[in-house]
Structure 1
């Protein structure tokens, strides 16, 4: 069924994206191909006539003694040859015009259609429902977007023109053969069924193998995308080698399939040549028999005309096979692409249907809603849930992790539809509303804020169409983001980096809140919106959100119950149902589940609980812990790009340097090359045999003729056997070498990426999308122009070399004339190659940028859908494609012109060669046999040159790809994780010291984050960092992991500078739990075992870590327990569940140093309390550095350090800092705590 549909797509719908102009171009291109294809058989007809005239003329000269008759005969011969020469010139002119049309028109229409396919594929992916993304790997989709569409472009370009040209040459040659001698032609065609049967079988096998190969590469691409987008986690846990092995495993599958495909592909060509040469032998033997038997109308010219027509037809049929394979591969690639394009999503993000109410008031009702995620249908998340929210109300959803709170808000955004029941807004079922219109009235701030790799300004403006500068600044002020933004060198034009990596967690959250506020929605959804903020920022933002909530319906999801006390309605959700609801006072009076959670939040142990202390604006007791105060270094005012991305020139890559990439596969390359040389020797040898076959008719002895005809027929069959064996050897050895090269280079490139330092990934040029595009396209282009092309170069070089040598032996004068045109052909080829290289370089950059946009969109599809920014990203993607499209249209003219000129010039050279050859024969300076040897040898040599020039664009792409690859492989990271040079102490005590550390991020060198920071953590002690957003807390954690090195000062471990330690050893002593937990697309067990990648972790040990992180019972309740798949980036789990898995992963590592960067920020209070106990247990005997906003989690720390502007403001224990009644005291007061002094 799969193959049938693939065929259907290939045959009927393959050109479905062609418009009127494209159809016109294709029709004209096909017509041009038909005309151009007819030129080669017509040349055979002219060649046959010339042979007849020459042989006849020579016989007349030999047998004529009368001078007058001889002179008349020579004059008639000259006249006939001259006329036939002009036929040659006419054929060449035709080839010049129509050759240009066929190539340029098809390249143009391919570029146009490919761009539409790219646009439509991206559009279709953006239109899909979220459940579809849950079941599809983002990395695999991105690989298909690059590799598969690239294959489609190859399949519908000039290769189609060449396919039609070769098929036409085959058909016209066949017709000429039938007209000239139907008997001889039918004998010649007797082996055609064998040729067709072998081609059909091979084609079917190639389709099947191509499908498997594409699938394997897609899986490898998915791994690469997942790993590169989570590079900090991978590096922190020292999992580079593990991920390289995971990536390589998929590459091995692709390699094994690729080798089989290469063998089958070459065997199909070898079979064609075997049957063709067998046919030649049979045809020559039979043709000779017809002449010897005196059949009327048969002469050497007739036989040669038929022979050459059929030979050229068969040669063209053989030449058509690679182009047909390219078309077949494109057809198979189109199957998966068109499947996605044609899929009708259950919730179409671009739908224009549905009711569009003029205004939405915001009354929401959940009616008997039941729901389970499509990826886990057996597990009900919501069970008959009912809830009504009045317009303008603020409703808080609280409850344990995994109770269904985040699922409710996803259903409210209509990311999914309920299985049972309904959700109404203003009494309208949201399924009846136009989805885009509805979502534009909904604003969302999620638990894990998503920023896009552009400026702060653009990120905020993504909230709504046509946002003014004033509205943007107002929203930033309301979100308390304005101050820290204005302190940045480029203010609102500062780039946030991929996924906002250049911003701290709190800064990202503030920008996301500003984006939601500028949207001015009727329904505001806050899913743990302030979880990443420090206390003061949280209070300020909370006040702004409460103010904003007065004019809209607000749904809040929160674990910190202090943020929901003022809600109009608090809803307690547990196990997918509403168990309690009411106002704060009502629920406290009930003393139910809400009351229990509320009590668990208190961090005071005093008997008397106080009331909340509000910090109003201007309150002198509230010390402003302002956002990071930037310190501008002495540097010129320049844009971020000019600082980060100086122009770097790629290394110059020669053919020899590209070939050196194959040195590991030298034995297979050598054997494959020997097979190519053997194959390349066949045509020069054939030219000698052919000339002798022609000239045997000068002898009138029938027995000699018959004997020679039989000998030469057998030799032709031997040539066929040699071709089959040599092609099989090429397929086997080059297949092994080529696929091994591709696997090795992909592995090396992936490894080189994983071992770069974090600063390299901060560069926007090295985004995940750009890097995955490099892995997908650069390697394929290098493979396509090295291994398999080595065979073509060796074969054609042998062909041309031997042809020239033989030609010089048999007729040096004629050879010199023909070779005089070689510089013209070479120059034409150089122009084409140079132009193709230039366009390949430009296109590669644009393709990387487009890939970056596509990857970013797919990774953050939930945010894009929530913001209704699908069309924005679609437009950005199309803009990148536009430049590439213009380059392709220019390339079409140059490639078409160079091909046509080179193709036509061969005909002109043939015309001159025959005219000059005839003159030499008449002058007695050359024999007819010598002339035919030279002509045939050089003709085949010219075909070899032409075939080599056809692949010039592929070489250009390979040269460009090799330059990028070598630049990557040769780049030495500043912090080399692969290095074994550093110290590896026998033990690690865990004493940490920062000694006068100053630091700025390499991508923002004019913003100093840490300034002469000094502190010490004794062995086994716990130090907690608190402070405002951007004060350097998380930066300190990254420096300790040696993601970066200080610009000044030292980070020491047990008194040894971290720079002197082996990087892998250093990181093996550290485990981290980050603010935004990163999980991988695998099972629960695999994600926990990720904590220790040096061994195979037993399941019991995994369970022990899960118990310690308070998640074991939850896992045991899952349908597949520890084998349950967590989904891409843990999409199947709630935020709290992901965080607890991350904690289990860290505990399994059994580190000497534990880094907790907001480790419990995503947990509900009940879970946080239990996990906190587990973490406190885990901290025993270990050095621990904590970053926290929840002060309840750090009061037992041995030392609490308050950071401000990259320096220590105050430090001490919890009680000591409370007694000081300074910054820390006021932070605690702001968290509604009365402290006992």
Structure 2
């Protein structure tokens, strides 16, 4: 058994490693499901997931092979020794060493039962081995002492910090990329109360320096000090209370708005909370939420816009009143109006504290006391805004890139473009053909028609809306009709293995009855002790042969049965996991908004339900099948020899079955309750996903306690279930001795009445005893089957859940020209039916046009892109492309004609090349990839990487900076050559220099395709054909940049807040 354990453990470790890799792919995909869907990457992710599962399946079957082989060998040895023991016992009886045959039977039965139960350990041994392997990983994690221990009480406390921050000759490389030096001798001093802005291209070390200051990492050379004390000597908790940070990608937790703010300062009063929210310009929109500050915002704040999440994150930081305030692109997700208000608030908040600002939008830092320009990990320039502009150096070029064109130049530029297009239009529409807009007139005429459409739309608001009720959120419904039978229906392709395994189990089930008949033969042999000892020994020799034959049969069929059932169960588990994962990736956005379908819960279901299901078709079913066979055959034998004893046994079996079914029903209810109330898995995933934010907010103990509370709630339910399972086990285990007593009592009575001979009664009693033995063995698996039944309901409900967007492959697949029309569109999020986002949205984008959407955060701009991608469908009105309702298109085809660059770029594990080619149906050449990277201004930084485009980006792009991730995401969109380009803050994470280059690339990329762009940095959209100011889900202003400036309306006010010309 030691050898068996060793071989099984080796295979189990390999299996669990591959399954863990598959789990990581599932987690990454579900957390970034919108990106996966936007690029039709579902099948690619499913194939990655499948690849890892199949690797694990091979090792699982290998484990089953060793289990069956060695368990069968054990039973062969057992029966061989049993036969030898009988032969030797016969010899001792013959020579008179042992006088009573009963003594021989006692010794043999004791050894048989003891050894048999040892043999039955094997199926449970796999569970123990899995636990051992998992425990090794867990204990390794527990025993790992981090270099930066957040729980340590060591270090000095800065009682009254003043906020003097100093970087002295700091060098740094990331541990996962030792060949790239990020900081190369950084020297910087920030005096108390001073505001210092860090600017520079993406990946130059700005955010890295912040990570070193907050001790997420430690410098390899040099030091960083606060008030003259090395940060490594300051207590880590104290340090992170002194330093408050608002990150580039805001992280909120699955709780109410109030708790997300209170989490950083548990002692904050309600009045103080409102004050910091007003400072962050968040109070007004919070008041408009369904339950105001008590509104649950869901996993990661998914029910809020990017700007709303950012403002709550700012309020959360201000609630701590830190002495050193770090703003890492803190206003990047805000519109110009909100940004101006929040910036004023941050300027006030910065008073009396040292402030470090990282910003690509330079209008937010022109009032900084000092601006520091980074390049290649060192300081290139420093000074005030005016000083650096006058120097005419690197910073001045960045400023120039974000300045708006003077109005005269803008008008001249527009007129020049109009003249050029008019000339080209006269030459048989040459430019229209080049741009893919065969029916498009001049840009000026297009604008006039577009403005006319708005006027008409605003004037007609009484038409009937084309309401579609199928946009109502489908509730998470568990179908109770799914059960163990559903598992077998879905295992049709595994029937050959299951039938082969079933036959092996049937033959293996003859083992106990055969053993019982052999014992009768031995009983009769020992009865000849006093009359013919020679014949007795002859029969003992034959009994040895019988037992060896039983052993060989057990060995052979145990091994074959284990392999057959392993092949069927592992194949079905892989199949069901893939089916569930695939269906999850094809769900509409409303499915994920449902709190019952948070990413954490979905990932937990994938990890637990499929393994639970396989218990009804793996080695456990093999054991139950051969036990049931043994029960049936043993009862038949008992009927042959004594029908009275057989009837007694059947009556007692009926009682046992009734009790176990009742307890199984209770256990199933508990299993469903555990599944529905599984908050521990969701909490764990939320913690791991947001661990950086948790550390910066010093909330490790808070979330540890939260996780412990979730576990305790689960523990209460699990304990209740364990009590029921223990009762079931006690009931089945006590059945065997009671049956012994009843059968022996009745048997003695039958012999005394002379109804049957002692040999017949012995045979009947042996049959019933073996029946009881088989019942005891099989009943231990009963809770596993109940769990499988519960998991079947959950897993098949997930597999068969139909997305509201329908089958992605069904629908029209015409060549798309790119005309987009929103006509009286209404929209309400499924989980917020009483809060309409859009009430009467009307606009039209013609082929080749660039339409920019601007306006306050949370007014529906990103929702427009979500509807174009069909993450959601409109609630009313119509959304058409080329005059056809968007819902009539094949969703898969529609998304091949679009490309999306989101506000928070999502990358996946793999190389840069893998991410750029993600979701592409056809292979692209390296030359095409290089062209896309050049357009996205990513070629420079990638060429500096040791492995170039083969460089691993890390899980969720963790090895790349925000700007680098954004440029890779842009290249991923451009390589598709889409007819419709959707840009949701596509350049928000880029510095001015990169933005200018990328913007020029995007301007080129827009030729021949319709582009819908959202931008809070207004300099990036001033050349758009049409700019729409959206507020309250409606178009409030429309026109070109110059036209809207001339109106001096809301757009004009936004421009004034960001213009750097002054």
Fold shared by both chains (TM-score > 0.5): yes
Question: Match for 1:666 among 473, 490, 495?
Answer: 495
Equivalent residue, structure 2, for 1:616: none
Among 809, 813, 822, which residue is 1:980 paired with?
Answer: 809
Q: For 2:135, which of 334, 344, 349 is the aligned residue?
A: 334
Pick aligned residue for 1:237 from 26, 39, 42: 39
- Within the alignment, does 1:994 sit opposite 2:796 as a pair? no
- Write the distance in 2 (CA, Å) between the matches of 1:600 and 1:815: 94
Residue 932 (structure 1) aligns with: 762
SS of equivalent residue, structure 1 residue 519: coil
Query: Which SS does the other structure have where 2:821 is aligned?
Result: strand
1:559 pairs with 2:354:
no
Partners of 1:1070 and 1:281 in 2: CA distance = 76
Match of 1:1123 in 2: 950
How far the C-alpha of 1:691 sits from its partner, in A, is 1.0
The C-alpha deviation readout for 1:1162-1218, integer Å capped at 9, x for no partner, is 110000000000000000000111111122111211111111111111111112212
**Alignment correspondent of 1:875:** 705
Select 1:1226's aligned residue among 1043, 1053, 1056.
Answer: 1053
- Shift of the 1110–1210 alpha-carbon distance from structure 1 to 2, 3 Å rule, reads same
Q: Report the equivalent of 1:907.
A: 737
Q: CA deviation at 1:647?
A: 7.7
Partner of 2:370: 569
CA distance in 2 between counterparts of 1:430 and 1:767 reads 38
Encode CA deviations 1:337-370: one digit per residue, 9 max, x unaligned.
1000000000111111111122221111011110
Provide the C-alpha distance between the structure 2 equivalents of 1:690 and 1:246, rounded to a whole number of angstroms: 56
Query: What secondary structure does 1:962 align onto?
Result: helix
Give the structure 1 partner of residue 58 of structure 2. Answer: 256
Q: Map Cα deviations across residues 516-548 of structure 1 (whole Å, 9 max, x no partner).
A: 111111111001111111111111101000001
> How far 1:645 moved relative to its partner?
9.1
Q: What is the TM-score with the length of structure 2 in the denominator? A: 0.92
- Residue 910 (structure 2) pairs with residue 1082 (structure 1): yes
The correspondence of residues 7-22 of structure 1 with structure 2, limited to 5 A, is none
For 2:387 and 2:145, locate their aligned partners in 1 and report how far apart those are by CA, in whole Å: 47
Separation of aligned partners in 2, 1:658 and 1:1184: 48
1:1151-1166 pair list within 5 angstroms: 1151-1166=978-993
In structure 1, what is the equivalent of residue 922 of structure 2? 1095
Instruction: Give the whole-Å Cα distance in 2 for the aligned partners of 1:1140 and 1:231.
Output: 20
Counterpart mapping for 1:132-281 below 5 A: 199-281=1-83
Q: For 1:1060-1081, what per-residue CA distance to the aligned partner results, in whole angstroms no more than 9, with x for missing partners?
A: 1111111110001111111112
Match of 1:448 among 229, 238, 249: 249
Aligned residue pairs, count: 999
**Partner residue of 2:629?**
798
Contact 1:459 1:515 in 2 (8 A): yes
Determine if contact 2:484/2:788 at 8 Å carries over to the other structure. Answer: no
User: How far apart, CA to CA, are the structure 2 residues paired with 1:853 and 1:271?
Assistant: 46
Match of 1:639 in 2: none
Asked whether 1:950 is paired with 2:815, we answer no
Q: TM-score, normalised by structure 1?
A: 0.79
- Find the partner of 1:435 among 218, 236, 245: 236
Q: Secondary structure of 1:973's match?
A: coil
SS for the counterpart of 2:389 is: helix
Whole-angstrom distance in 1 between the partners of 2:577 and 2:331: 42
Q: How far apart, CA to CA, are the structure 2 residues paired with 1:1055 and 1:271?
A: 73
SS state at 2:170 partner: strand
Aligned partners of 1:891, 1:601: CA distance in 2, in Å? 64
1:1046 aligns with 2:874: yes
Shift of 1:784: 2.3
1: CA distance, partners of 2:723 / 2:879: 60
* Deviation for aligned residue 1:590: 2.4
Task: Give the Cα separation in 2 of the matches to 1:791 and 1:324.
Answer: 15
Q: Alignment partner for residue 305 of structure 2, among 487, 500, 504? A: 504
* Paired residues for 1:841-856 under 5 Å: 841-846=672-677, 848-856=678-686
Aligned to 2:796: 966
Tell me, yes or no, if structure 1 residue 690 matches structure 2 residue 519: yes
Alignment of 1:42-61 (within 5 A): none
Counterpart of 2:1036 in structure 1 is 1209
CA distance in 2, matches of 1:1073, 1:546: 31
In structure 2, C-alpha distance between the alignment counterparts of 1:860 and 1:672, rounded to whole Å: 46
Partner of 2:607: 776
- 2:541 aligned with 1:739: no
Deviations along 1:416-455, one digit per CA (max 9) or x if unpaired, are: 1100011110111111111012101221111111112222
Residue in structure 1 matched with residue 462 of structure 2 by the alignment = none
User: Which residue is equivalent to 1:884?
Assistant: 714
Match of 1:1024 among 843, 846, 852: 852
Q: Secondary structure of 1:1162's partner? A: coil
2:830 aligned with 1:1012: no
What's the CA shift for 1:607? 8.6
The alignment partner of 2:803 has SS state of coil
Residue 376 of structure 1: which of 170, 177, 195 is its match?
Answer: 177
CA distance in 2, matches of 1:1098, 1:647: 44
In 2, the alpha carbon distance for the partners of 1:491 and 1:584 equals: 40
Q: State whether residues 832 and 952 of structure 1, in contact with CA within 8 Å, keep that contact through their aligned partners in structure 2.
A: no
| Shift, 1:856, TM fit | 0.8
Aligned mates of 1:449, 1:324 — CA distance in 2: 46
CA distance in 1, matches of 2:735, 2:41: 58
Structure 1: tracts of 5 or more residues without a match: 1-198, 610-642
Aligned to 2:883: 1055
Q: Measure how far apart 1:1000 and its partner are.
A: 0.8
TM-superposed deviation, 1:734: 0.6
The corresponding residue for 1:82 is none
How do 1:717-866 residues align onto structure 2 when only pairs under 5 Å count?
717-846=548-677, 848-866=678-696
- 2:468 equivalent in structure 1: none
* Residue 394 of structure 1: how far off its partner (Å): 0.7
Moved more, 946-955 or 248-257: 946-955
What is the rounded CA distance, in whole Å, between the counterparts of 2:688 and 2:484 in structure 1?
A: 37
SS in 1 for 2:642: helix
Question: Over the residues paired in the alignment, what is the CA RMSD in angstroms?
Answer: 1.8
Post-superposition CA distance 1:1094-1153 (Å, at most 9, x none):
123322211111011111121010011111111222222221111111110000111000
Deviation of 1:1234 (Å): 6.7
Deviation of 1:875 after TM superposition, in Å, equals: 1.6
Q: 1:1139 to 1:936 in 2, by over 3 A?
A: same
Conservation of the 8 A alpha-carbon contact between 1:264 and 1:731: no
1:95-126 deviation line (CA, Å, top 9, x unaligned): xxxxxxxxxxxxxxxxxxxxxxxxxxxxxxxx
| Rounded Cα–Cα distance in structure 2 between residues aligned with 1:1234 and 1:739 | 67
Report if aligned partners of 1:669, 1:787 keep a CA contact under 8 Å in 2: no
* Matches of 2:1054 and 2:985, distance apart in 1: 16
Q: Quote the Cα distance in structure 2 between the aligned partners of 1:644 and 1:363.
A: 53
Change (3 A) 1:992 1:336: same
Alpha-carbon separation, structure 2, partners of 1:901 and 1:1157: 63
Which runs of structure 2 are paired with 1:389-400 in the superposition (5 Å)?
A: 389-400=190-201
**SS of corresponding position for 1:820:** helix
> What is the CA-CA distance between 1:649 and the residue it aligns to?
4.8
Q: 8 Å contact 2:483–2:792 — kept in the other structure?
A: no
Residue number in structure 2 paired with 1:633: none
1:1109 matches 2:936: yes
Q: How far, CA to CA, are the matches of 1:438 and 1:582 in structure 2?
A: 28
Q: Is contact 1:695-1:928 (8 Å) kept?
A: no
Q: What are the Cα deviations for residues 253-287 of structure 1, in whole angstroms up to 9, with x where unaligned? A: 11000011111111121011111111122222222
CA drift at 1:375: 0.4
Q: What's the counterpart of residue 1010 of structure 2?
A: 1183
* SS of equivalent to 1:876: helix
SS at match of 1:672: helix
Q: Partners of 2:299 and 2:509 in 1: how far apart?
A: 52
Cα distance in 1, alignment partners of residues 312 and 955 from structure 2:
25
